[in-house]
Amino acid sequence: RNFCDKINWWKEFLDHPRTREALSFLWKNAKKLIYHVLPTRITGKITFGNEDPAVTGMVLAVLGMTIPFHKNKIEVAPLFDDENVLEGEILLKGRIYGIVVLKTAAELYFNKNIKYVIHRWRHKEVKHGERE
């Protein structure tokens, strides 16, 4: 019964309109902030290898999936020898303006829906209709 009560509380909590608005506002600002702090230029060279050539091949396959992010600006040189090697040099260029971070933090801090969600999170026993 206690487990079902917790599930019902979470369902009510997540389905509440103010919670949904707060989560969408948080997601929108998080995307903006992540886009702002990501580097604008990436260049580099990585040399790696493992004792097991199969592991080296799997790592190379995973790194191949990251090509859309760095647009093939990182040169990858796999070593299929019997040794563990990880050497490299990566240069990231970008910018982070403090005012953008402060503006986003202020927007999140002063948002009434986010304050409501934090209050509901701290006081889980209070029903949605009692305090709004």
| Res 59 pLDDT > 70 | yes
Q: Which two tokens stand for residue 59?
A: 């790592």
Does 58 lie in the same domain as 76?
A: yes
Global pTM? 0.61
Length of the chain: 132
Summarize the confidence of residues 63-67 as an average pLDDT. Answer: 88
Q: Is 43 helix (H, G, I), strand (E, B) or coil?
A: strand
Whether 7 is covered by a domain: the verdict is: no
The partner residues of 85 in beta bridges, in order of sequence, read 49
Same domain? 60 vs 123: no
pLDDT in tens, 106-115: 999 999 999 9
Pairing state between β 85-93 and 41-49: antiparallel
Residue 10: inside a domain: no
pLDDT at 99 over 90: yes
Place of tokens 């990251």: 66
* 30 in a structural domain: yes
Residue 28 lies in a domain: yes
* pLDDT value at residue 127: 53
Name residue, tokens 């999140």. Answer: 108
Number of domains present in the structure of the chain: 2
Residue scoring higher pLDDT (131 or 70): 70
**Rounded distance between C-alpha atoms, residue 53 and residue 72, angstroms:** 23
Q: Does the pLDDT of residue 132 top 50, yes or no?
A: no
